[in-house]
Amino acid sequence: MNLITNPWKGLASYEEQDVDKFEFCGRTQAIGKYYSLITNNLISTLYGKTGCGKTSLLQVGLFPLLRREAYFPIMCRMSLKKKDETFSSYLQTRVQEEADKNAIRIEASNIGIEQTEKDNQYDLWNYFYGHEFRNEAGHIVFPIIVFDQFEEVLINNRDESVLLLKQINNLIGDDLLLPEDCYANFRVTIAL
């Protein structure tokens, strides 16, 4: 059967550009609940069995809704990074790629933590707190970093994943004193 005449995509994940081509239905309640969870928390987790539709729920159900509400979702599969890349540099590359694709400007701010080359536990903190993200109209949008299939990172890159977990912990932690006008301009969601 031709996929164009079939209203369902089959076993492949739906992608955001599939919204008009295929029917994605039956997840309205789940989308609403997860939207509320993401927008009200710095970090959230979506978990379920392999193949149950987590990636599709995120890309087709949630991402269009988030974009309409001044959020900037970025799908990151850390298992796709190059061997010579760190998780942090791969993530920053993905943010830039999605910003270019969605006409988002990334502007530097003057907030940051000094760190040595060996102590890069604050790479993600410096990146997200050290930048503002603006749409074409100049309005601030909030990046939502979606770590899809995160279990692959934990299983396949044990040593590197320890540093990534420290970086995520430092990013969402509240143990650093921030200037009064500084706020968390991001959200993190982990899909397992």
pLDDT of residue 106: 95
Tell me the pLDDT tens digit for each residue of 108-164.
886 655 554 556 888 898 899 889 999 999 999 999 999 998 988 888 888 888 999
Q: What confidence tier does 3 reach under pLDDT thresholds 50, 70, 90?
A: very low
Q: How many Å apart are CA 11 and CA 63, to the nearest integer? A: 20
pLDDT of residue 176: 66
Q: Is the pLDDT of residue 8 over 60?
A: no
Query: Which DSSP string do the residues of the chain spell out, in sequence order?
Result: --TTTSSS-TTSPP-GGGTTTS---S-HHHHHHHHHHHHH-SEEEE---TTSSHHHIIIIIIHHHHHHTTEEEEEE-GGGS-TT--HHHHHHHHHHHHHHHTT-EEEE-S------SS--TTHHHHHHHTEEEE-TTS-B-EEEEEETTTHHHHHH-HHHHHHHHHHHHHHH---S---TT-----EEEEE-
